[in-house]
Structure 1
Amino acid sequence: MAVGERDPITGHMTTGHEWNGIKELHTPVPKPVWFFLIVFTLFGVIWTLFMPSWPYGTGYFKGWLGIDQKQTVAKQLEEGKADRAAWTARIEKEDFAAIRADADLMGVVRETGHSLFGDNCAACHGTSGAGNLGYPNIASAPMLWGDAPETIFETITVGINGADPDTRVSEMLAFGKNQILDRPAILQVVTYVRSLSGLEEPTEANAAAIDAGREIFAANCVSCHGEDAKGKTDMGAPDLTDHFWINGSSRDAIYHSVFYGRQGHMPSWGLRLSPLDIKILALYLSDLRERQHAAVGDGT
């Protein structure tokens, strides 16, 4: 095959190479490819000259513009620290009521508290605070020790059955396991408790069980849950008349709670977080609960 022969099909010149009857064509690089190669080569050269680029010896070429991202980030951190200091000092100094009355400070609390909650609390209580099985709804359900910001601050700080010497203690007796009540009695008190929140409507079939369960409840449960079964915040005992159930509301779930008892746990966050962070979390939760209740009240 001769060099310079024109291929009759494509019209391209050949290179003179041939393999098993296949001729190699001399096809030029498309002009758009040349264009982009030239443009990006020039861009690379210009970038290399103006921006930090090639290393050498003990340093690197800093570029004609003198841009230093390390210094830029350090400056931004210092500016952020200065901005943060202005509002952190106020939150640390002012009481809960004053902070809640300040719209600007509460805007900071909502933003910062949301991040703190997501990093430290959402794994158990959910991103919205609505809780998970075994972990209470702290966005709208009654709080075991009360929902005043000061009380929430204390609960977060010392924890529940936590490592802090002053931790809150919460435990429900194992009435069945410890042989305080037998199985028939537990079944009766379960029926009564479910009737308190409307989970089990009184009927002729369960009337006797409810009456018996009421007597058993009065003899064994009122010291913590109260005679009206609405719980006691000084004991950390939950309200049994509402529709919030930490460990489930089925007959099996309640039977399990009564038979084996319950002992919740929350870390003593005072050993992990600063008082400032805990105060922001307490304010954030108090505000979250207020907005949640307002939304429910408006029917939204």
Structure 2
Amino acid sequence: MASKRQRRDSPREKLLAEVGRQVERRLGGSGSELAGSQQTLAYLNWLAWHCSEFAEVPAFLNAARVDILAILHAGALGVERTAHLHARSLVENLVRHCYFDSRPSLFVARSLLPEEDVRDVWADLLEEIQRLPHFQPALGDTAETSFLFSEIVHAYQRSSRFVHGSTARYRSLYRDIRSIDLDAERAGELDAALRRLGEACLLLLALYHLGAYLLISQPIRRYMLRDAMGLGGRARFLRCMESVPVTWAQHQRTAALRTWRERKRKPFPTRDGLLLDRKGLALVVNPRASTKS
């Protein structure tokens, strides 16, 4: 009897029980405080999964999907700071994806380094990916692409304030599990910030993986524009896509189709040291590995 009572009253059991009660209370509410951003992030999660089948280096796309799930989980529980922590990580992983996916040799070299020697300066990676041809078509005629990167920077800085900020606005004042919650004002602010982040990330992925995006059926793309984006985000997305030259769009679509067909038949090796298939990549060759038995 004593052992059963001890297990029932253990800190772990008390914690899980209180979390369960908090979830039940939130289920009894309207549940609409973060509905807009949840819709946007759910579609972003799907788009990241879709693009991973065409990526040279899908590792960071998979990490970004983990961040999206964590944001949705934290938002549903009302843990604002955790949602922003993963929002910052999401931005970092998508920028890393664009950088290393366009440079698979560097990804392989990076993977061979000792963990403590790996250094990613996010600002440098962000600056480098803006030079990629994927983001060039809109630069001449419209400011939408530069708007995209200013939105990425804004989202990163906003989430960083929740990680490093010391003012009252960015401090969490929870007393216990039961007190973790968001009032209507802060829930609205979080919803707007996450939706703005999600819309920028959708545009980033659609431009970088333009061929994969163009292979998505029209009904799904229509859903994204209608339900997963607000009016402003939708207008910016469409203006940016309209500025993409037809020849570039056709080239990217053809390249995506070729990648899909090659991976569907069988895995194939690359000179970078990767084995590519529909599930992504595997590091198969270490150029410094000894061949001696």
TM-score tier, shorter chain, comes to under 0.3
Report the structure number with the largest CA radius of gyration. Answer: 1
Identify, as 1 or 2, the structure richer in helix: 2
User: TM-score, normalised to structure 1's length?
Assistant: 0.22
